[in-house]
Amino acid sequence: MTRNSMKVFCGNSVPRLAQNISKKLGFNLGKVTVDRFSDGEIRVKIEENVRGADVFIIQSTQAPSDNLMELLLMCDAAKRASASRITTVIPYYGYARQDKKDEPRVPITAKLVADLLSQAGASRILALDLHAEQIQGFFDIPVDHLYATPLFAEFFGKRNLADYIVVAPDAGSAKRSRGYAKRMGNLPMAIVDKRREKKDKPEALNLVGAVEGKKCLLLDDLISTGTTLIEATGLLLKKGAKEVRVAATHGVFSGEAIEKLKASPIEEIVITDSLPRDLPAGKFRVLSIAGLLSEAIRRIHNGESVSSLFI
Ligand code: R5P
């Protein structure tokens, strides 16, 4: 197979992570200007030749939507500059929670974003812990979907897990949590029955499984307001859990989430650097996905299998 030269670019959403990925790949990020015109519109200019190149664009698409727009414009610029292939590396895929038409007159924004990316010129997607597996099917281009689970498993695996139980904070995350429990040496598992009557106001109602005397490890794809995890923690402690720790891939932390989580009885909160967050010292820990993503980029470029990274 002929290999075109690899070029890696990033926008403004995860600059530190992008730098770390490029360091691991062993070369500098490509030169691109991503700034604003005087009226606030986004201006993109790729400052080096990408004709025939295998282009990777690293960008999370968290709010504000400027991050998504930057990514779309970078794809369009690379396409029009005759890149041979454009892989968008999206550590955090924003709008993913709007993935179904579950009430009248609402958009399926996760699908719209997928269409926009393809239309802008993306040839393939490399994503991490999409909110729902089905989002892969929103794309008609190849999607490599990675998980942060191995990082969490390595992190917590260094501890004595004798009294641990993995807890899914809602039914939707049960499959992910089951896989994690298995990976951690067949730990037991429990599921919180969560209801969300109002937007951003989830309630933990019931628990499936026994947590009395156990150390709980709550596993989620993302933390936004923090309410899901704080509610779940309250229920687990009420049911006799000894302590609660959290592993969540994406630290979105909207509104007062960080303060609320800091003040909560959660002992420890482990996230990744899929989003740039400065967190207070204490209970927060950040694991880097730079190694995982750089290895995936390297293998995609070389036409090697990435499936061993999917677990
Ligand atoms: C829900 O389906 C997700 O997996 C998260 O549990 C949820 O979106 C977290 O949101 P918040 O932190 O606002 O409760």
CATH 3.40.50.2020-classified regions of the chain: 3-148+290-309, 149-287
User: Ligand 1: distance of its center to the CA of 86 in Å?
Assistant: 31
The residue written with tokens 């968008």 in the block is 88
Which residue among 130, 224, 260 is best mutated to probe the pocket of ligand 1, counting the most ligand atoms within 8 A of its Cβ?
224
Residue 300 or residue 200, greater confidence? 300
What the block records as the tokens of 254 is: 């909207």
What is the 3 state secondary structure string of 223-280? ECCCHHHHHHHHHHHHCCCCEEEEEEEEECCCCCHHHHHHHCCCCEEEEECCCCCCCC
Q: Assign 200 a pLDDT band (cuts: 50, 70, 90).
A: low
Closest approach atom of ligand 1 to CA 254: 13
d(CA 289, CA 304): 20
* Ligand 1 proximity of 132 Cβ (cutoff 6 Å): no
**Residue 97 annotated in ligand binding:** yes
Average pLDDT, rounded, for the chain: 95
Residues 107-139 have pLDDT tens digits of: 999 999 999 999 999 999 999 999 999 999 999
- Structural contact between residues 167 and 189, judged by C-beta atoms closer than 8 angstroms: yes
Rounded to the nearest 5°, which phi and psi values hold at 47? Answer: -95, 15
Residue 199 has pLDDT above 70, yes or no: no
What is the pTM (predicted TM-score) of this model?
0.95
Residues 45-55 have pLDDT tens digits of: 999 999 999 99
Residue 1 has pLDDT above 50, yes or no: no
User: Ligand 1: distance of its center to the CA of 134 in Å?
Assistant: 17
Which residue among 218, 222, 230 is best mutated to probe the pocket of ligand 1, counting the most ligand atoms within 8 A of its Cβ?
222
Fold of 3-148+290-309: Rossmann fold (3.40.50)
Q: Assign 308 a pLDDT band (cuts: 50, 70, 90).
A: confident
CA atoms within 13 A on the CB side of 91: 32
Residue 309 has pLDDT above 90, yes or no: no
Other CB atoms within 10 Å distance of the CB of residue 257: 18
Q: Assign 194 a pLDDT band (cuts: 50, 70, 90).
A: confident
**Residue 39 annotated in ligand binding:** yes
The mean pLDDT value for 285-309 works out to 95
What are the contacts of 302-306 at 24+ separation with CB within 8 A? 302/3, 303/1, 303/3, 306/144, 306/146
Q: Which of these ranges, 123-127, 159-163, 211-215, has the smallest mean pLDDT?
A: 159-163
Residue type, 90: I
Residue 3 has pLDDT above 70, yes or no: no
The CATH class given to the 149-287 domain equals: alpha beta
Strand order in the sheet with 201-208: 201-208, 189-198, 164-168, 215-223, 243-251, 268-272, 284-287
Which residues, in sequence order, are CB contacts of 311 under 8 Å at separation 6+?
Answer: 147, 149, 150, 183
Residues 176-191 have pLDDT tens digits of: 999 999 988 899 999 9
Angle at 131 (CA atoms; ends 305, 303), nearest 5 degrees: 15
User: Residue 214 catalytic?
Assistant: no
Please report the pLDDT score of residue 125 as a whole number: 98
d(CA 268, CA 64): 28
* Ligand 1 proximity of 129 Cβ (cutoff 6 Å): no
